Structure 1
Amino acid sequence: MNHSPSLLLVLHDVAPQTWPDYQPFVEAVDALGQVPMTWLVVPDFHHANALEDHPGFRRLLDGRVERGDELVLHGYYHCDDGPPATHPKDWFMRRVYTHEGEFYSLSEEAALARLRAGVETFQRYQWPLEGFVAPAWLMSEGTRQALRQLPLSYTSDPQHLYRLPDFTPIDAPGLVWSARSAWRRGLSKVINDQREQRWRQAPVIRLGLHPVDMRHGFSRDYWLRTLERLLDDGRVPMTKVQWLATRGLPVSDAA
């Protein structure tokens, strides 16, 4: 089956605290026309952004669903509050690579409890839910086993989407920045320009945005220009669940 090449615009770490970072960018994207987005929503970002305490933000997300955007469960707290790491590799992943690998070391029981709480949050606010993305894309084996027990259709890592419950991989290369310092932003642009050229013929390209990207004109402008360029190249913008439906994944809200 032939498909038009696609583009997935994904906003990570969506929470009341991060919305002011995203708002100008989202307004600029909306001004381009109908460009659906995938919002990775954190139910209680860093234990200080519980969605139940922010009805105005929930109404914003209600409006995005009505517009055709997709909301995805993105961890629960989006911070690693587990016991200290004892193995050097685990210490590196949890304290150097990221401090936000919430699901990196969770047992199956702990992951299942946190995932179920997230699913219940979406159900409470009547938001369709098909996907889960772990913070920093880090998942323990216990998390993987927990995901097999839930009514979710997919998860992802930086270069793939995975059909659940069997974790069948689907290539979905992604551009992502490290924007915490000027040298990281400069290097990110070089790397992403190279990757975009390499993936010119790829069936899909994901743009993975983070709130910190929006705080610097250099990285924010990169994302807007890249989005416009890929749209001009004929790529069709979709949400993740819409694109998976074109690949034959049975999802309930992908029509």
Structure 2
Amino acid sequence: MSERALMLVLHDVAPETWADYRPFVEAVDAIGGVPMTWLVVPDFHNRNPLQAHPDFRRLLDGRLARGDELVLHGCYHADRAPSPRTPKDWFMRRVYTHEGEFYSLDEAAARERLGQGLALFRRYDWPLHGFVAPAWLMSPGSRRALAGSGLLYTSDPRHFYLLPDFAPITAPGLVWSARSAWRRGMSWLVSERQLRHCRQAPLLRLGLHPVDMRHDFSRRYWLELLKRLLREGRQPTTKIDWLRQYTWSSSAA
């Protein structure tokens, strides 16, 4: 694979986050030729079931028709497990994030949760190839359940993992913490440093979140960065399209 690729990935996609994303998506569509990967949450925070939003489902149908990809992103994107019992779990589930839905699940619970998501994608005839855990956190039981799900890949901020063996592929990603002004400033510095180190990487992923879209500074950064990377010759792609090319190139070699 000689071309340097670029992925634009929208996290936490749900009816209630569409208002945040809409201006940005429209701006990307105006550029033209930039497919996006949408990480879809079936029932965001247990208050936003996709079944209750036919207009939003039609929007996602339209995105698929444009060449975008839909990915399963948890089921609720909320940690509803019993209270943490160890200092490590308390930090991961109360300080690092409150949304690590798959962090504490045993295999049976993770399999049930994945099954709900798979069933929803089948119900609406949406092709499904990948799963990304909320906050990229998975318990050992969740990993075993995912390995047996029939899906092709998962990912974290630094890697793709080919299922069922979790074979890693280096895939650096940029992501912001945009909840406050100082976090946005630090995110800008960290992202620019990462870009210098990853400039020649075969694949670069931009991982956007709804909170990024609520602040002009971060929203403008992502849009200008996208344009900059396109000018530098990176080819935009979805996760599954890149992965298909990667596996084809690997088998051909």
Aligned to 2:72: 73
1:202 aligned partner, one-letter code: A
TM-score (norm 1): 0.97
- Establish whether residue 188 from structure 1 lines up as the match of residue 187 from structure 2: yes
Using the TM superposition, give the Cα deviation of residue 82 of structure 1 relative to its aligned residue in structure 2, in angstroms.
0.4
- Take 1:157 and 1:236, find their aligned partners in 2: how far apart are those partners? 21
> What is the alpha-carbon distance in structure 2 between the residues aligned to residue 185 and residue 249 of structure 1?
39
Q: What letter matches 1:145 in structure 2? A: R
Q: Is the 8 A contact 1:163 1:249 kept in 2?
A: no
Residue matched to 1:246: 245
Task: Give 1:199's aligned residue.
Answer: 198
For the 8 Å contact 1:154–1:163, the answer to whether it is kept is: yes
Distance 1:193 1:148 in 2: 35
Instruction: Supply the AA of the counterpart residue of 1:171.
Output: T
192-201 or 240-249, which moves further after superposition? Answer: 240-249
Deviation string 1:112-148 (CA, Å, 9 cap, x unpaired) is: 0000110000000000000000000000000000011
SS where residue 15 of structure 2 aligns? Answer: coil
Query: Who is 2:178 aligned against?
Result: 179
Give 1:169's aligned residue.
168
Do structure 1's residue 145 and structure 2's residue 144 form an aligned pair? yes
Residue 119 of structure 2: SS of its match in structure 1?
helix
* SS of the residue 1:25 aligns to: helix
**SS of equivalent residue, structure 2 residue 247:** coil
User: Partner residue of 1:59?
Assistant: 58
- Please list the CA deviations of residues 185-209 of structure 1 after superposition, one character each: whole Å capped at 9, or x if unmatched: 0000000001011100000000000
- Residue 25 of structure 1 corresponds to 24
Which amino acid in structure 2 is aligned with residue 232 of structure 1? R
Residue 135 (structure 1) aligned with residue 169 (structure 2)? no
Distance 1:94 1:202 in 2: 32
Residues 40, 72 of structure 1: 8 Å contact kept? yes
Unaligned runs of 5+ in 1: 251-255
Q: Which amino acid aligns with 2:150?
A: P
Q: Whole-Å Cα distance in 2 between the matches of residues 6 and 165 of structure 1?
A: 24
- TM-score normalised by length of structure 2: 0.97
RMSD: 0.9
Number of residue pairs aligned between Structure 1 and Structure 2: 249
Q: 4+ residue stretches of structure 1 with deviation over 6 A?
A: none
Between Structure 1 and Structure 2, which shows a larger proportion of helix residues? 2
2:86 aligned partner: 87
